[in-house]
Every structure is written in C-alpha cells, then in structure tokens.
A and B are shown apart, each in its own frame.
Chain A
Amino acid sequence: MEWSIVWKAAIALSGLGLLFGGLLAIAAAKFKVETDPRVDEVLEVLGGSNCGACGYPNCERAAEAIVSGEAPVDACLSGGGDVAEKVAKIMGVEAGVRERKIALVHCKGGLAESVPKAIYHGIDSCLAAVKIAGGGKACPYGCLGLGTCKDACPVNAIIIDEDRRRWVDRDKCTGCGLCVEKCPRGLIELVPRKQEVLVVCKNIEKGAKARRVCKVCCNGCKKCEKVCEVDAIKVVDNLARIDYEKCNQCGKCIEVCPNQVIVRVVPAWTSRRKAKEPSPAIP
C-alpha cells in the first residue's frame, strides 16, 4: 500500500476544510447582522402553529413584524389575551385586553338526530355535497359532517365521530378562524371562550317545519326567552340567540329547552379524549 497518497488525501481534504472553515468564520464576523433579541423572545411566546390568522405567513414573520412595530402586540389572534400580555411585557408596552375565542359549529344533529333526504355517496367534502342538491340532510341549515372544516384546521382540533357529529377540542382550538370561512353553510362562528351556555342551531324555519327535519333544532318556542332573568336570550327569526355580554351563564334556558339545543360546555367535558364518560353533545 502506498502511504503517500493517504497523506496527500488527508492534507488536501483537511486543508480545504480549514480554508473554508476559516473563510466562513471571517465572513460570519465581518458580515454580522445585529438582530433584535426580542424577535426570538416574541417567537417563543407565539403559539408556533403558523396558522396565518394574523396575516403573516408564519409565526417568525409575525414576531419580526411585532418587534419592528409594524404589527400591534396583540396581532396574534389565536393566542388572544394571554399571548398579547406576554408580548406586551417583552415589548415594554401595555396591551389592551382581547378576548380569546373558540370555534363553535352551530349544529347538533348527527346521523341519528337529523332526517335524511337522500343518501350521499360522493367524495368526503361538504363543498362537493352542497353542490349536489344541497347534500344528504333534509335540514338546509344542518352540518353535513363531511369534514371540510376538519381539513382546514391547522391544529387538528375538530373531530368528527362515526355518527357524523362534530366536536371541537377546546384544549387544541386556538380560535384562529380558518374553519369559519371553509364551512359552505356558514355554521361555524367564533364565540368567546369563557361563554359556556350556547345555542347550537342555525335553523330559522318556523317551529313545525324545523322539527320535521331535525330532532335537535331550535323551533323558536321562546321558552328560553321567558325564563331568562337577565334578558340575554332572544328569539329572532325563529332562532334563539344569546347576547354573550349580558348572559350570566345560569343555565335556566338549558333546562326548559324542549329540544336540548341549548347546551352547557363544561371545559372538563369537552375534550373527548380526556372524558371517561360519554361527553354531552357539544358540536
């Protein structure tokens, strides 16, 4: 074996390595860019799910924009008040309080509760189903449960069970609102996270007509309106609506609702994975 070639190879490669290493070290020192350390701190606080709800392509760009003053400290929609406060602390300013929100699908009906008008055999997409005579459900305001919102969710917070009912995992949902635009029936809304009493129906048909298509619909009976002590729930266009500002979350409307369409979301129940017992239907 010829040893000289081994030496030559070792010298050539290590020499090149040293050369390039040295050049890179010099370049790094010479072309050093002063970056604001706050960018990393802000990035740490932001969720990092890159949902894009703030209007920037990712959390990194959003952090840069916040530090440079281009975006407000509460720019992160999914983070809400907590994150805004932390960011404001880093930036050394006061943050206005912004309420944290959560997505809610305004329909409770699964396969068992809703009356079908046809059996849909197409691809699993609400958008496609709606185009074919409005999908398989008789209720024109009902959730089709084919998962267009689920596909849009960046944090996998929407779960669809075997009965085609939707569940929003409150531990995961960041309230970014990407699913809101995707729903072809406009059933998803962002509601305040602290609100526990919710009406989960969007049917504005008159009572009997609504009852014909779904067991769990709001038929506009006004029982909730009468029982409410703080005047927070109102039936408008045959649909009960809660004023979240006024509501004291006493839950009296839940007891009187004949169709169980008003529900209480208890934080401990709503994450289905954690629930030992079957959780109540919180769409």
Chain B
Amino acid sequence: MSEAYRYFLIFIGALIVYNILLVRFIALCPFFGVSTSVETSIGMAMSVLFVMTMATTVCWVAWNYILEPLGVGEFLYIPTFILIIASLVQFVEVVLKKVSPPLYRAMGIYLPLITTNCAVLAAATEAVKPGFLKLNVPYNFTFPEALVYTIGVAIGFGLVIVIFACIRERLETSPIPHAFRGAPIAFICAALLSLAFMGFSTLLGL
C-alpha cells in the first residue's frame, strides 16, 4: 500500500464509510439544530472544519509534549481536550470579532455551539490518542495522518449537514400530513439518509 493511497483511505474512511453523523451517530444536536437552511448549515460546516483542525493540532501537541511525558494521559485526556477545545473556540471568537466582523457575524452564533460539540472531542481524541478505535481498528496515527483524518471527519460532517439542509428546505414546501411537520419528518428523513450511508460500509475494503 503506497503512502498516498493510505492517506486517501483514511480520508474516505472518515468522510463516508465511518461518517460521524450518519454511521456513528455523534453530534446529532447540531445536525438537527442548524440544518433548517442551507446557508446556516454551510456556516456551521465551515466553523466545524476550522475548529476541528485547530483542536486536533493543539491536542496533538498537548498529548505528545505534556500528557504523555508526565504519564497522566490515560485518565486526563478528556478534561484536557475539553479545556483545549473550549479555550480555542473562545480564542477564535475573540480574534474573529476584531479581525473579520463579517465572518464573525456569519459564524458567530455557531462558535459557542461548537464548544460543547461532541464531534470535535471525538475527532480530536480519535486522531490524537494512540490505541483509540478509529475506522474500527486501534491504530496509531502520525501527525499528518491525524490531520487528514480530522479534516475527513469535518468534511463528512459538513457534507451530510448540507445534504440534510437541502432535504429539509424541500420538505418545507411538500404536502406533509400536519402531524409529521417539522421534527418528526426530519427524523424519518435522517433515518433514511443514514440507511443510504450504511450502504457505503466495506467500501474500498474499509
């Protein structure tokens, strides 16, 4: 297996085969919360991509240079990573407000949501912590692999949330029985979409 093909497999695995939303059911709250329009879902997807990549980078440094040498990583990784993600989001928000007000206005409301987004913690933990289950095998990533994996997860999140937002926009104008309007039909659509994504399992031997 060539180097490039391995990266490709990691990316596709994180993106589609083990999609964080539809196959692993992580981060379902923003999936239903902000998927009411395509515009907001794209904003959310971009914010998640940005924060996830940053979080994995910082978590990698924290794990390899602080937690691991001290030998406390095994039980301290969750509080540390949450601390990192929360401060990172806060930091990004403060900087963005000053540097780019339009971008802040576009992403502003999603950033606080990401602070406690389980997808960010899941991606950071899986990518950084050796021996943690990823793509269904305990496998130790190098730093570039961890980055590719995280970006794959984030784009997978964005892809699905945008697809789902398109479906929900179409649903708005569909003749749906009154009792199924809103959340119920959204849940049914999510289930069908999930079934479709389950069809990708064992793609490329993953």
Q: Write the residues of chain A forming the contact surface with B, with a CB cutoff of 8 angstroms.
A: 5, 8-9, 11-13, 15-17, 20-21, 23-24, 27-28, 31-33, 123-125, 128
Contact = CB atoms under 8 A, between A and B. Distances in A.
Given A8-B70, A31-B97, 6 more contacts: A5-B72, A12-B80, A20-B83, A21-B87, A33-B97, A123-B177
Contacts of A12: 66-67, 70, 72, 76, 80
17 contacts: A5-B71, A5-B72, A8-B71, A8-B72, A11-B70, A12-B66, A12-B67, A12-B70, A13-B76, A16-B62, A16-B80, A20-B87, A24-B90, A31-B98, A33-B97, A123-B177, A123-B179
A128 B178 CA distance: 10
A13 B80 contact: yes
A8 B71 CA distance: 8
Interface of B: 62, 66-67, 70-72, 75-76, 79-80, 83-84, 87, 90-91, 94-95, 97-99, 177-179
A31 B99 contact: yes
A2 to B, nearest CB: 10
Contacts, number: 55
A93 B99 CA distance: 32
Contacts of B71: 5, 8
Contacts of A24: 87, 90-91, 94
Contacts of B80: 12-13, 16
Nearest to A21: B87
Contacts of B62: 16
A47 B79 CA distance: 40
Contacts of A11: 70
Given A8-B72, A12-B70, A16-B62, A124 B178 contact: yes
B70 to A, nearest CB: 4
B94 A31 contact: yes
Contacts of A125: 178
Nearest to B90: A24
Nearest to B98: A31
Contacts of B70: 8-9, 11-12
Contacts of A20: 83-84, 87
B77 to A, nearest CB: 11
A5 B97 CA distance: 40
Contacts of B84: 16, 20
A23 B91 contact: yes
A32 B6 CA distance: 44
Nearest to B87: A20
A31 B94 CA distance: 7
Contacts of B97: 31, 33
Nearest to B175: A128
Nearest to B72: A9
Interface hub of B83, B94, B95, B98 (most chain A Cβ within 10 A):
B94
Contacts of A17: 83
Contacts of B98: 31-33
A6 to B, nearest CB: 9
The 7 tightest CB contacts between A and B, nearest first, are: A31-B98, A20-B87, A123-B178, A9-B72, A8-B70, A27-B94, A31-B94
Interface hub of A16, A23, A24 (most chain B Cβ within 10 A):
A16
A16 B95 contact: no
Contacts of B75: 9
Contact of A13 (B79, B94, B177, B178): B79
B94 A28 contact: yes
Nearest to A4: B71
Nearest to A122: B178
Interface hub of B62, B70, B178, B179 (most chain A Cβ within 10 A):
B70
